[in-house]
Structure 1
Amino acid sequence: MSEPEAGPTPQWTVELDLQDLNDTAQLAEELAGYLRAGDLLILTGGLGAGKTTFTQALAAALGVQGRVSSPTFVLSRVHRGTDDGPDLVHVDAYRTDAEGFEDLDLLSSAAEAVTVVEWGRGLAEKSLTGASGSWLDLELLTEAEGDGVGSDPADSRGIVTDFSESDDDVLGASRRALLRGVGPRWVQAPRLTLPRR
């Protein structure tokens, strides 16, 4: 099991079995019921781990407007909420550092939004929640990554040379999710129906 980088000790850790991308989407839908404006979710996972699938399902469950795609080339996207729901701010911190992250001015929207930061572990928490803040840390690991792999963005930088797709590729192979709650907002773990490890 990989641990978050040094920082506050999580209140709890839940390890879940996800059979495919449908389970990844279900996890997002279930978590959406617990999230509210002002919440921060740090999302980590290698190439093909399901980060975009998770965020798209989360956006649908929150009822935000517009198509959700990876923010890799724009770093941050704001998706407006509907029906009095929160906005969704989707950030990719993979190609930035602390200074670049601060330049995104995410604090200006944090109170009205659920903020999802891909590759933000160790970078976004203190910046967006303060020293005693609260956040969820979700790590998606494919079975091929094994224990302890997936915490480092460099793990997903390999060169992909085989672009053929099998049925497993389309739906997604099995993976596991490590969900951690940090701070007073997340004293109790959400009640999730997906199988635990």
Structure 2
Amino acid sequence: MILKTVDDTRDFGSRLAGVLRAGDLLVLSGPLGAGKTALAQGIGRGLRVLGDVTSPTFVIARVHRPDRTAGGTVPMVHVDAYRLGNVTDPRAQVDDLDLDASVEDSVTLVEWGEGMVEQLSDAYLEVRIDRRDDDSRTIALIPHHGDWPDRIAPLSEATADRA
């Protein structure tokens, strides 16, 4: 899928939120500036969580509670594992974050988590984002096990129709 602007990336995140539920794990990958946090902002908007969704690079993880007055029902855990990639055993660092305690009850998004967090869930969605020279983004949704293929199929079709 091609998303022309950062706002399109956020809008796609909001649509993606419509198929998410408690227990979902999303691994967001892509180079610096690709739009991982913009996608997370859209997902947060779609899930109707409290607080501004910003990059958790320095705090590593943020929990956004649902805004019940706006119809939110599921918390979102937003993790940035970028700094964990520089340690000897990043999987042990992820274990120290105790994310598995919240995965079943939340939608968990992990930026830079490939190779580190997949053990948190039997099924997860990998979201690859790349920024192109014209500042548009390409997004690939790669399902890993579970019912992800069925859940994301309508998103691919709807995005193709809008392009």
Regarding TM over 0.5, the answer is yes
Structure 2 partner of 1:11? none
Equivalent residues of 1:23, 1:194 under 8 A apart: no
User: Is structure 2 residue 83 aligned with structure 1 residue 95?
Assistant: yes
Cross-structure match for 1:5: none
Structure 2 Cα separation of the partners of residues 21 and 187 of structure 1: 25
User: How far 1:138 sits from its partner (Å)?
Assistant: 0.3
- By how many angstroms is 1:185 displaced? 2.6
Aligned to 2:83, the other structure's residue is in SS state coil
Query: Which residue among 112, 121, 142 is the counterpart of 1:180?
Result: 142
Q: Could you say which structure has the greater relative contact order, defined with CA pairs below 8 angstroms and 6 or more residues apart?
A: 1
Distance of 1:174 and 1:89 partners within structure 2: 27
TM-score, normalised to structure 1, is 0.72
| Ranges in structure 1 where 5+ consecutive residues have no aligned partner | 1-15, 145-167
Q: What are structure 2's unaligned runs of at least 5 residues?
A: 85-89
**1:48 maps onto 2:33 in alignment:** yes
Q: When you count helix as a share of all residues, which structure comes out higher?
A: 2
The residue aligned with 1:194 is 159
Deviations 1:129-162 (A, max 9, x none): 1xxx111100110114xxxxxxxxxxxxxxxxxx
Alignment of structure 1 residues 55-134 onto 2, 5 Å: 55-83=40-68, 85-96=73-84, 97-126=90-119, 128-129=120-121, 133-134=122-123
Write the letter of the residue equivalent to 1:195: A
> 1:94: how far off?
1.3
Q: Which has the larger radius of gyration?
A: 1
**Equivalences, count:** 151
Could you list the structure 1 runs, at least 4 aligned residues long, displaced by more than 3 angstroms after superposition.
Answer: none
Q: Give, in angstroms, the shift of residue 82 of structure 1.
A: 2.6
Matched-pair identity in %: 42
- CA RMSD in angstroms, aligned pairs only: 1.7
1:29 aligns with 2:29: no
